[in-house]
Structure 1
Amino acid sequence: MEFSPLISDEKAPWPRNAWYVAATSAEIGDRPLGRQICGERMVFFRAGDGQVSALEDFCPHRGAPLSLGFVREGNLVCGYHGLEMGCNGRTAGMPGQRVGGFPPIRTFPVIERYGFIWVWPGDADEAYVDRLHHLPWAEDDGWAYGGGVYHIRCDYRLMIDNLMDLTHETYVHASSIGQREIDEAPVQTRVVGDEVVTSRFMPNVIAPPFWQLALRGAGLDDKGLVDRWQICRFSLPSHVMIEVGVALAGHGGYEADNALKASSIVVDFITPETETSHWYFWGMARQFSVDDAALTDTLCEQQGAVFREDMEMLELQQANLSRYPDRRLLKLNIDAGGVRSRMMIDRAIAEESLTLDAAAT
């Protein structure tokens, strides 16, 4: 079977009415942050009360990027001629000039939660808080989290494909999380509610190096056989949560008691920038040795190295797809998770288009 490579078309290849991770909370301090999200150039800054606001990154005076300016007394000051913009997108002043009549620039709904800044690039009237992706582990002291962010020069859907089919671990990540049993274990893909779920279970295997490290961190034997699992969950607009772990063999695997396993959730927020680039917010939330900050740092460093291997492969894959846009790509049963995820994305885009067409008439 064949399918077309991911190339641009007339419609933007992402849903707009959705909450996307725009930044980590730590990225927005005293200075404004410019970032392109779903094709929209935005600037994020903290007002005097510490709340994060998002405006289009365009000064109404001469069109300079507002992200090159600075924050003063809660307003965003353009770094070109000093025009001040408020959180509501309206001009707040300018030395020696009358600017009160300037039309406002666009603002974007923003939520700061779970250590991330979330932005809604679509219709602001649809930006309901209850549509935000809920992360129960982020509000639970029984979990620890560490992560980072990469800018990756490829279509965001290629990253989703990558995460929904972990067969590549055997080859791309051979020295860390890969092992031949991944190839040999059967894969099940199904749609459960609003998620695409791909799962793989590997009983009685030797833990690969990364999971040997995790077992030691959990105070468990890292030399014996383990039961390993991977459960990938895609949800709109472009989030993949992967339940991963190993348990001492013969104690229930995924269902084993926490004292007998090292389990975690690989957190993947994939935010489109352009049709051939995206922001990748990655991390790991774990339920073992949660007070061990050194272990958090070590696992984060190891995980970051794994994802850099993904980045190299995906960017070269994108370069090939861009170089040969008419080539047809083959698909196998292992691609089902990515295919179903992209089908869900396509439906969301189509539904938005129908809504816009209905509103226009």
Structure 2
Amino acid sequence: MTRSVTAKIFDFPRNAWYVAAWDHEVTAKAPLARTVAGTPMALWRGSDGAAAALADACWHRLAPLSKGTVMGDELQCPYHGLRYNAAGRCTSMPAQKTINPSAAVPSFPVVERHRYVWVWPGDPDLADPNLVPDMSQMDDPEWAGDGLTIEAGCNYQLVLDNLMDLTHEEFVHSSSIGQDELSDSEFEVARSGDRGVTVTRWMRDIDPPPFWLKNMRDKFPGFEGKVDRWQIITFEAPSTIRIDVGVAKAGTGAPEGDRSQGVNGFVMNTITPETARTSHYFWAFMRNYRLDSQLITTQLREGVRGVFAEDEDMLIAQQRAIDENPEHVFYSLNIDAGGMWVRRILDDMLAAEGRGSDADRAADRADDAAPVLRAVVES
């Protein structure tokens, strides 16, 4: 079964938490410029170490505050020296004692969690910290790892599509993590409330691809033989995807819950839309074995960096083709079931904000998508 969607640039919800930066990127030395969901922001830390985010444009002449100076708990405009506190209120103006009561810039709610600085670009009254997506493996002492940021030249939903369907590994990553069994295996798709989707795939009694064979030998020197491999993809709105991945010696009980004879990792992904055609892609690879080995941490980070570079090339090419063929119609396959649920969730979030296309949403509900979005999808 297939369904079609017109190729278009997809909008992004604003009433949501997005990662603006790694925590170490935001300092008290100088402000950081970052555009989140189409909103330019200046981020910095006050004297107490708390992160703050203001609109990156001075009230006076729209000079970028990200080019300014951190002065204790205030940010000073680089053009005429106006100062702002973390709430965006102007506290000082040059050459006058009276401060114009309208002198303020928008401030944005900030939460620091899981080694990231999260911001809420929408209605601040709706900014519930409990809605920050779960990325707990990032700072759990039982897990170790590192990651990087990709400045992706594509719409953020293309990255979500890529991560929700990992059968592309067979073709894009054939030399590292891809193998024929990806397309041949069954998978399950399940909704989690109104904000989550999970795609689960098991591949039993297979040869490990090069990436996973190396990891097995890091933990079990000299390992040979077949493995059971798993990929459990968990999406949490608006744009965070954790992928529970690993392999274990075949027949040792991994599908039933005993992963002791294997290696387990979490590919952590959170994608922040910058503009309609660009996004900040924050990722990390976390593992629960050989936690003290910086060598393994570095090797895994660099290995995943190489894999993601192949994805980046494909996504940039896809974005270029979309821009060149704006009327093209996409046809979705069974393997797109998880990504289709993601898009439906995002459509619903946009609708709640009074944005998005009512016609597109009506078409989504009326088409024959139901057989594709079933709980169990077979190849």
Task: Quote the residue 1:307 is aligned against.
Answer: 308
Task: Quote the residue 2:16 is aligned against.
Answer: 18
Match runs of 1:195-206 below 5 Å? 195-206=196-207
- After TM superposition, give the deviation of residue 43 of structure 1 in Å: 0.8
Task: Quote the residue 2:50 is aligned against.
Answer: 51
Task: Quote the residue 2:63 is aligned against.
Answer: 64
3-state secondary structure, aligned to 1:353: coil
Task: Quote the residue 2:335 is aligned against.
Answer: 334
Q: Take 2:147 and 2:6, find their aligned partners in 1: how far apart are those partners?
A: 30
* Residue ranges of structure 1 left out of the alignment (5+ in a row): 355-361
Are 2:283 and 1:282 aligned?
Answer: yes
Task: Quote the residue 1:357 is aligned against.
Answer: none
- After TM superposition, give the deviation of residue 209 of structure 1 in Å: 1.4
- After TM superposition, give the deviation of residue 257 of structure 1 in Å: 3.6
Task: Quote the residue 2:237 is aligned against.
Answer: 236
8 Å Cα contact 2:53-2:86 kept in structure 1: yes
8 Å Cα contact 1:258-1:288 kept in structure 2: no
Task: Quote the residue 2:226 is aligned against.
Answer: 225
8 Å Cα contact 1:234-1:241 kept in structure 2: yes
Q: Take 1:23 and 1:254, find their aligned partners in 2: how far apart are those partners?
A: 36
Greater shift, 211-220 or 36-45, is seen at: 211-220
Q: Take 1:273 and 1:199, find their aligned partners in 2: how far apart are those partners?
A: 30
Q: Please give the per-residue CA displacement for 1:298-348, whole angstroms capped at 9, x wherever unaligned.
A: 101111111111111001100000100001112110111111110111111
Q: Take 2:92 and 2:242, find their aligned partners in 1: how far apart are those partners?
A: 45
Change (3 A) 1:289 1:117: same
8 Å Cα contact 2:228-2:251 kept in structure 1: yes
- After TM superposition, give the deviation of residue 254 of structure 1 in Å: 3.9
Aligned residues between the structures: 351
- After TM superposition, give the deviation of residue 128 of structure 1 in Å: 1.4
8 Å Cα contact 2:253-2:259 kept in structure 1: no
8 Å Cα contact 2:137-2:266 kept in structure 1: no
8 Å Cα contact 1:228-1:245 kept in structure 2: yes
Q: Take 1:20 and 1:310, find their aligned partners in 2: how far apart are those partners?
A: 22
Are 2:90 and 1:91 aligned?
Answer: yes
Task: Quote the residue 1:316 is aligned against.
Answer: 317
Q: Take 1:32 and 1:219, find their aligned partners in 2: how far apart are those partners?
A: 46
3-state secondary structure, aligned to 1:82: coil
Task: Quote the residue 2:160 is aligned against.
Answer: 160
Q: Take 1:255 and 1:95, find their aligned partners in 2: how far apart are those partners?
A: 68
- After TM superposition, give the deviation of residue 99 of structure 1 in Å: 6.2
- After TM superposition, give the deviation of residue 98 of structure 1 in Å: 4.3
TM-score (norm 2): 0.88
Q: Please give the per-residue CA displacement for 1:77-115, whole angstroms capped at 9, x wherever unaligned.
A: 222222222111111224434462142110000011111
Q: Please give the per-residue CA displacement for 1:99-147, whole angstroms capped at 9, x wherever unaligned.
A: 6214211000001111100001111111112122233324431111211
- Which amino acid counterpart does residue 187 of structure 2 have in structure 1? V
Change (3 A) 1:207 1:106: same
- Which amino acid counterpart does residue 132 of structure 1 have in structure 2? V
Q: Please give the per-residue CA displacement for 1:14-59, whole angstroms capped at 9, x wherever unaligned.
A: 2211111111001112211111111111110111111000000001
8 Å Cα contact 1:245-1:254 kept in structure 2: no
Task: Quote the residue 1:177 is aligned against.
Answer: 177
Are 2:30 and 1:40 aligned?
Answer: no
Moved over 6 A (4+): none
- After TM superposition, give the deviation of residue 2 of structure 1 in Å: 4.0
3-state secondary structure, aligned to 2:235: strand
Task: Quote the residue 2:299 is aligned against.
Answer: 298
Counting aligned pairs with the same residue, the percent is 40
8 Å Cα contact 1:206-1:223 kept in structure 2: no
- Which amino acid counterpart does residue 284 of structure 2 have in structure 1? G
Q: Take 1:270 and 1:240, find their aligned partners in 2: how far apart are those partners?
A: 9
Are 2:346 and 1:345 aligned?
Answer: yes
Q: Take 1:224 and 1:292, find their aligned partners in 2: how far apart are those partners?
A: 25
Match runs of 1:117-266 below 5 Å? 117-193=117-193, 194-255=195-256, 257-266=258-267
- Which amino acid counterpart does residue 146 of structure 1 have in structure 2? D
8 Å Cα contact 2:7-2:329 kept in structure 1: no
Q: Take 1:254 and 1:23, find their aligned partners in 2: how far apart are those partners?
A: 36
3-state secondary structure, aligned to 1:4: strand
8 Å Cα contact 1:203-1:253 kept in structure 2: no
3-state secondary structure, aligned to 1:130: helix
Task: Quote the residue 1:109 is aligned against.
Answer: 109
Q: Take 1:49 and 1:6, find their aligned partners in 2: how far apart are those partners?
A: 47
Task: Quote the residue 2:359 is aligned against.
Answer: none
8 Å Cα contact 1:204-1:249 kept in structure 2: yes
8 Å Cα contact 1:4-1:328 kept in structure 2: yes
TM-score (norm 1): 0.93
3-state secondary structure, aligned to 2:271: strand
8 Å Cα contact 1:2-1:328 kept in structure 2: no
Greater shift, 249-258 or 50-59, is seen at: 249-258
